[in-house]
Amino acid sequence: MIKGNHILVTGGAGYIGSHTVVELLKAGFQVTVADNLERSDFKIVEGVETITKTKIDFHKMDCLDYSSMDDLFSKNKFSSVIHFAAFKSVNESVSEPISYYKNNVGSLITLLEVMQKHQVKDLIFSSSCTVYGQPDVIPVDETAPFKRAESPYGATKQVCERILEDAATVGFKVISLRYFNPIGAHESGLIGELPIGVPNNLVPYVTQTAAGVREKLTVFGSDYDTPDGSCVRDFIHVVDLATAHVKAIQYVQNLSAKNTFETFNVGTGVGVSVLELVKKFIEVTGIKLNYTIGPRRAGDIEKVYADAKKINQSFGWTPRYGLGESLLHAWNWEKKLRG
Ligand code: WQD
Mapping DSSP to helix (H, G, I), strand (E, B) and coil, where does residue 104 land?
helix
Nearest CA to ligand 1 atom 34: 231
**Contact criterion met (CB below 8 Å) for 58 and 45:** yes
Instruction: Give the whole-angstrom CA distance, residue 106 versus residue 228.
Output: 41
**Contact criterion met (CB below 8 Å) for 82 and 10:** yes
Mapping DSSP to helix (H, G, I), strand (E, B) and coil, where does residue 89 land?
coil
Give the nearest ligand 1 atom to 90 CA: 25
Q: How much distance in Å is there from the Cα of 48 to the middle of ligand 1?
A: 26
Q: How much distance in Å is there from the Cα of 73 to the middle of ligand 1?
A: 35
Q: How much distance in Å is there from the Cα of 82 to the middle of ligand 1?
A: 24
Q: How much distance in Å is there from the Cα of 286 to the middle of ligand 1?
A: 24
**pLDDT score for 146:** 94
b vs e for 55-74, b when ≥16 Cβ sit within 10 Å of the residue's Cβ?
ebebbebbbbeeebbeebbe
Instruction: Give the whole-angstrom CA distance, residue 130 versus residue 201.
Output: 14
Indicate if ligand 1 lies below 6 Å from the C-beta of 90. yes
Entry pTM: 0.97
Q: How much distance in Å is there from the Cα of 231 to the middle of ligand 1?
A: 9
**pLDDT score for 3:** 55
Q: Calculate ∠ Cα 49-333-276, nearest 5°.
A: 140
**Contact criterion met (CB below 8 Å) for 146 and 131:** yes
Indicate if ligand 1 lies below 6 Å from the C-beta of 164. no
- Beta-bridge partners for 35: 60
Instruction: Give the whole-angstrom CA distance, residue 234 versus residue 272.
Output: 6
Nearest CA to ligand 1 atom 5: 181
Measured from the Cβ of residue 273, the count of other Cβ atoms closer than 10 Å reads 20
Indicate if ligand 1 lies below 6 Å from the C-beta of 233. yes
pLDDT, mean of each 10-residue run, the chain (339 residues): 81 98 98 97 97 98 98 98 94 92 98 98 96 94 93 95 98 97 97 90 97 97 98 98 97 91 98 98 98 92 96 97 98 94
Pure H helices in 42-200:
42-52, 66-75, 90-95, 97-100, 106-117, 152-168
Q: How much distance in Å is there from the Cα of 165 to the middle of ligand 1?
A: 27
Mutate to test the pocket of ligand 1, among 280, 281, 300 (most ligand atoms within 8 A of CB): 300
Indicate if ligand 1 lies below 6 Å from the C-beta of 181. yes
**pLDDT score for 224:** 98
**pLDDT score for 298:** 81
Could you confirm whether 153 is annotated as catalytic?
A: yes
**Contact criterion met (CB below 8 Å) for 321 and 179:** no
Nearest CA to ligand 1 atom 22: 181
Indicate if ligand 1 lies below 6 Å from the C-beta of 88. yes
Concatenate the DSSP letters of all residues of 255-283 into one string. ---SSEEEEEEES-S--EEHHHHHHHHHH
Give the nearest ligand 1 atom to 157 CA: 23
Nearest CA to ligand 1 atom 23: 128
Nearest CA to ligand 1 atom 27: 201
DSSP state of 24: H
Q: How much distance in Å is there from the Cα of 181 to the middle of ligand 1?
A: 7
Indicate if ligand 1 lies below 6 Å from the C-beta of 289. no
Q: From the CA atom positions of the chain, what is the Rg in Å?
A: 19
Q: Calculate ∠ Cα 12-18-22, nearest 5°.
A: 120
Contacts of 143 (CB under 8 A, 6+ apart): none
Indicate if ligand 1 lies below 6 Å from the C-beta of 224. no
**Domains (ranges, CATH) in the chain?**
6-183+235-267+307-319 (3.40.50.720)
Identified catalytic residue from 153, 224, 251, 305: 153
**pLDDT score for 299:** 77
Indicate if ligand 1 lies below 6 Å from the C-beta of 206. no
